[in-house]
Structure 1
Amino acid sequence: MKDEAKIILDICNKILLKNVDHHLRLNLEPISTQFKTLKDEIISSELTKLLVKEDLGGAGMTLTDIIPIVQLSAQYGTPIPFIETIISNFLLSELNVKPENDFITLTNKTENIQIKKDKISGNFKSIPYLNLVEKILVETEIKNQKYIILFKKGGKLKLQKNFLSEPKFDLDASELEIISMMEKPEQIDVQNLLINVRSIQSFGAMEKILKLCIEYCSQRKQFGRTLSKFQMIQNHISEIALEVAASGASLSTLKNNNKNFYNLKSTAIPKIRTGIASGKVIALSHQVHGAMGFTKEYELSYFTKALNSWRNEFGNEIYWQNILGKLFLNQNKNLWEFLNH
């Protein structure tokens, strides 16, 4: 990692360490002082412009450079559209559009989109943290051409009914003001980009879960000794550590080349491996914690719920195993060559 990237990572760590805790996660409101303080510090430090081109006022970092920041944000369980804003500003930058100085969110799940006189109408699905932003970035297809559109929030918001940590909304919009609308560059695959961000976040969440398991078992006592002394508990934690390590290794393809964030094979491999690991880590971590892990006041369930959400978003590991298998069958290399080139 470049020296500049290390400095930025340290700044990000200090801000999140100071402002993010379980109280914020459980009491997340746009009017809360804790949220406003966190938002102001992130925006004023320009962390949301890390991927923006330098001539547009950004840091000019690459997608590979921000992998540790996405990972760190997930480790802290940061309950705000921080990463969504980074990616949104990156997409705007690639279109040579000036980045936003506020939180924005994004989605590529749209239906019935209509554009009339610089107004957008339609249905937008599964938008994360829509309650905390005033603008939305979407990728959508109109008459066989894909566009990236930034518009002002409005219309009817519907909170999706689920048990997940990350609030997601559906939006039925009618004639909302378009701020910017550009044709999507062919080389950018928004969906693969978003999938890879989720894989990195899953890895970060699993690292946090492993840490929680170790801390809990080192402190909790049963039958006169700490849980960490029991062989079955040791086996569970070692298996969690194995899954975390394997997930981290699967992300190596993304660290090698920015273009791999758009590549289908390079997207499928970490998506599959983090998905497999997520299922095991969720089950084992709750076995280690017992009933304590399911309580709302203890933070484990926040991370396992987030992990379960990211695991299933854009298709689970079985769906992506089928895609990877078809890619392998449609070429002439052996399996080892296919996976490593």
Structure 2
Amino acid sequence: MLHTQTHAPCAEAPAADDFAAILVEQTDRLLTREVTAACLREADAGAFPAAAWQAVCDAGLPHALEPEEDGGVGLDVPAAARILRRAGFHALPAPLGEDMMARALWSAAGGAPVDGLVTFAGGLWPAARLCAAPLPAVPWAGVAAHVLVALSDDAGERLILLPRDAYAVETRRNLAGEPRDALSIAGEDLGRYPSRPWSSAAGADGLSAYGAFVRAQQMAGAMERCLGLAVAYANERKQFGKPIGRFQAVQHMLAVAAGESAAAAAAAEVAAAAFGTSHFAVAVAVAKARCGEAAGKVAEICHQVHGAMGFTREHTLHVFTRRLWAWRDEFGNETLWQQRIGRAVCAEGGEALWPRLVALRTAGGFA
């Protein structure tokens, strides 16, 4: 378990930024050790990485956003977001983001601590709809102990925590081989399951906004890894007697990819800084749209730099590009979130646009 008190009693407490940096370094070491090529191959074939997941749980990472009084680590969201970016960087084939976010939302709504893996379904669902048709593309529902769902009825909006015996699962997978299951709720008596009043920070998008937040962080990390692989390959692969990275055309492509990756990371950081504020709905829309757009360009360029080598299963690149292609569409693609941005701007009026941009810039620490 990770703890916020890592110093000797007589020592001065490290600054929050220092602790976050230490935590990211610890996470990197853990994931480097646990997310091996064999682990990724087994996950690709449909096996859940139980050993890697146990190591992640032993480190307390799923509890990063839960308050210390509930047995959590009590990190702030920007620090936790850095952990999610490292999970994307290492292509962790397990639902760390879903578990971390579901626990944080349930705890913030006043729910009691939960044992076992927790995931969540995107959207805000009418109560009658939940029992009428399967919920689509629920990440890792088949291996989760609970699924968190946002619903609305005559009493208002609330979060409901469904135990594993409350639903049946039809296993489906995304392009990266990750489970995105169809979930059918057994029976129609939802009142027997734990629930808490809740108000979505993103209106009708409900939990999709929080899923988009997780995917934006993961994509930012995966793009960083793809770019690193492409730069390393360009410096190693020789053509006409010199590394291809010395050719101006290749340098230009890598520069474009680096710019896209940096812009995506900045948007993800702004969304993390805006979490829990009135700016979150727009910030997460910007982050998911920008990261989704960048993901396509970065994946394309990195495959171009690698040539035919990058398309083989033996090379590492596809592990990350397949996740980028899958994640950009999950919890809403860039078109959907761009529409959300447009509607928010139109609703506020043109004179509010510049103050909104300044507020987002300040929230992200770019003032």
Normalising by structure 1, report the TM-score. 0.87
Aligned to 1:339: 357
1:23 corresponds in structure 2 to 38
Counterpart position of 1:11: 26
Runs of 5+ unmatched residues, structure 1: none
Partner of 2:179: 167
Structure 1 residues 325, 2: closer, same or farther in 2, change over 3 A? Answer: same
Partner secondary structure for residue 140 of structure 1: strand
Q: Which runs of 5+ in 2 are unaligned?
A: 1-15, 360-367
Q: Distance in 2 between matches of 1:29 and 1:214?
A: 26
113 and 302 in structure 1: CA distance in 2 versus 1, 3 angstrom threshold: farther
Residue 68 of structure 1: CA displacement? 0.7
The whole-number CA distance in structure 2 between the counterparts of 1:310 and 1:29 is 16
Task: Deviation per CA, 1:83-139: give whole Å up to 9, x if none.
Answer: 111111111211232333432211134878569xxx978522111123332322222
Distance of aligned partners of 1:30 and 1:97 in 2 relative to their CA distance in 1, 3 Å threshold: farther
State the number of aligned residues: 337
Contact 1:9 1:68 in 2 (8 A): yes
Of 195, 213, 228 in structure 2, the residue corresponding to residue 181 of structure 1 is: 195
1:193 Cα offset (Å): 2.2
With over 3 angstroms needed to count, the CA separation of the structure-2 counterparts of 1:292 and 1:140, relative to structure 1, is farther
Equivalent residues in 2 for 1:257-336 (5 A)?
257-260=274-277, 263-330=280-347, 331-333=349-351, 335-336=353-354
State whether structure 2 residue 146 is matched by structure 1 residue 135.
yes
1:327 Cα deviation (Å)?
2.6
Shift of 1:291: 1.9
| Local SS of the residue matching 1:169 | strand
* 1:40 partner amino acid: Q
Could you tell me which amino acid in structure 2 is paired with residue 314 of structure 1?
F
Bigger shift: residues 122-131 or 231-240:
122-131
Contact map agreement 1:126 1:168 (CA 8 A) in 2:
yes
Aligned residue for 1:27, secondary structure, equals helix
Cα drift, residue 319 of structure 1: 3.0
**1:124 corresponds to:** 135
Residue aligned with 1:333, SS? helix
CA deviations on 1:11-46 (whole Å, 9 max, x unpaired) are 2222111100232122029997x9332222222222
Kindly tell me: are residues 64 and 140 of structure 1, through their superposed partners in 2, closer, same or farther at Cα, counting changes over 3 Å? same
> What secondary structure sits across from 2:170 in the alignment?
strand
Q: Distance in 1 between matches of 2:200 and 2:250?
A: 50
Match of 1:95 among 85, 109, 133: 109
CA distance in 2, matches of 1:312, 1:261: 25
Identity %, equivalent residues: 26
Name the amino acid aligned to 2:30: I
Report the 3-state secondary structure (helix = DSSP H, G, I; strand = E; otherwise coil) of the residue aligned with 1:259.
coil
Q: For residues 163-206 of structure 1, what are the alpha-carbon distances to aligned partners after superposition, in whole Å with 9 as ceiling and x for unaligned?
A: 33432111223149965222224558533222122111111111
In structure 1, C-alpha distance between the alignment counterparts of 2:208 and 2:150, rounded to whole Å: 9
Q: Is the 8 A contact 1:192 1:262 kept in 2?
A: no
Kindly indicate whether the alpha-carbon contact (under 8 Å) linking 1:109 and 1:124 is maintained by their aligned counterparts in 2: no
Contact 1:80/1:132 (<8 A) preserved: no
Aligned-CA RMSD value: 3.0
CA distance in 2, matches of 1:181, 1:225: 63
Give the letter for the 1:287 counterpart.
Answer: Q
Stretch moving more, 287-296 or 94-103: 94-103
Q: What residue number does 2:72 align with?
A: 58
Question: Relative to structure 1, is the Cα distance of residues 186 and 322 closer, same or farther in structure 2, using a 3 angstrom cutoff?
Answer: closer
Relative to total residues, which structure has the larger strand share, 1 or 2? 1
SS at structure 1 position matched to 2:213: helix
Please report how far the alpha carbon of residue 275 of structure 1 lies from its aligned counterpart in structure 2 after TM superposition.
2.1
* Paired residues of 2:293 and 2:334 also in contact (CA < 8 A): yes
Question: C-alpha offsets along residues 319-339 of structure 1, whole Å, 9 cap, x if unaligned?
Answer: 333332333233142754442
Between 259-268 and 201-210, the greater mean CA deviation after superposition:
259-268
> For the Cα contact (< 8 Å) 2:124–2:207, is it kept in 1?
no
2:125 matches 1:78: no
**Aligned residue number for residue 49 of structure 2:** 35
In structure 2, the residue corresponding to 1:86 is in which secondary structure?
helix
Structure 2 letter corresponding to 1:105: T
What residue is the counterpart of 2:9 in the other structure?
none
Describe the shift of the 1:238–1:9 C-alpha distance in structure 2 as closer, same or farther (beyond 3 A): same
Letter in 2 for 1:212: L
SS at match of 2:157: strand
